[in-house]
């Protein structure tokens, strides 16, 4: 089996999850696509599938291949990871405001900071395990940077707003 054939076989497996790949393997596949009609068709149908996914979930549920289900699972999990973080931040902000109000800004910020340490940090460590298990390096880094920014700077931003 020559290298082109090998790349072709791998492309057939990986094109349905191409959005989840790191840059280098993605480039290899995109290069291969330019001179392989089969893979180009598969790529086109994957891209179209993602665009029209809400519609197809209903009508073609039975025909969805396992890999496409995996793509849907990944999108769902990403949303869930974002929603859980948003809910925790909302809860911390809401309870800080409820207990102290804008009249006691320094106590409120203190409460907000401890909320971040007691709830947000443990939760993000827990969620990071999911990110490491299911997503590629790019997503792990994006998650880490966003969480660090929230942990370090969010109380300052809240302070500016008030």
Applying CB under 5 A, the residues found at the interface with Zn ion are: 8, 11, 36, 39
> How far is Cα 63 from Cα 51, in angstroms, rounded to an integer?
17
Tell me whether residue 28 or residue 77 sits nearer to Zn ion (CB atom). 28
Quote the least distance from Cβ 155 to Zn ion, whole Å: 52
Quote the least distance from Cβ 147 to Zn ion, whole Å: 39
Tell me whether residue 32 or residue 85 sits nearer to Zn ion (CB atom). 32
Tell me whether residue 36 or residue 81 sits nearer to Zn ion (CB atom). 36
Quote the least distance from Cβ 121 to Zn ion, whole Å: 46
Buried b (16+ CB within 10 A) or exposed e, 31-70: ebbeebeebeebbeebeebbeeeeebeeeeeeeeeeebee
> How far is Cα 82 from Cα 67, in angstroms, rounded to an integer?
23
Quote the least distance from Cβ 47 to Zn ion, whole Å: 16
Residue whose C-alpha is closest to residue 162's, from 101, 121, 117, 118: 101
Tell me whether residue 8 or residue 78 sits nearer to Zn ion (CB atom). 8
Residue whose C-alpha is closest to residue 127's, from 105, 103, 108, 146: 146
């Amino acid at each position: 089996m020559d290298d082109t054939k090998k790349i072709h076989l791998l492309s057939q497996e990986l094109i349905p999850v191409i959005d989840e790949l790191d840059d280098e393997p993605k480039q290899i596949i995109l290069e291969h696509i330019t001179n392989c009609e089969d893979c180009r068709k598969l790529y086109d149908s994957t891209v179209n599938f993602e665009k029209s996914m809400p519609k197809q979930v209903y009508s073609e549920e039975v025909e969805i291949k396992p890999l496409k289900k995996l793509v849907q699972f990944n999108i769902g999990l990403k949303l869930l990871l974002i929603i859980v973080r948003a809910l925790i931040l909302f809860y911390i902000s809401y309870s800080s405001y409820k207990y102290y109000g804008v009249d006691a800004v320094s106590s409120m910020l203190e409460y907000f900071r401890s909320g971040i340490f007691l709830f947000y940090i443990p939760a993000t460590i827990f969620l990071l395990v999911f990110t490491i298990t299911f997503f590629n390096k790019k997503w792990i880094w994006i998650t880490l940077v966003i969480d660090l920014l929230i942990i370090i700077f969010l109380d300052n931003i809240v302070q500016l707003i008030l």
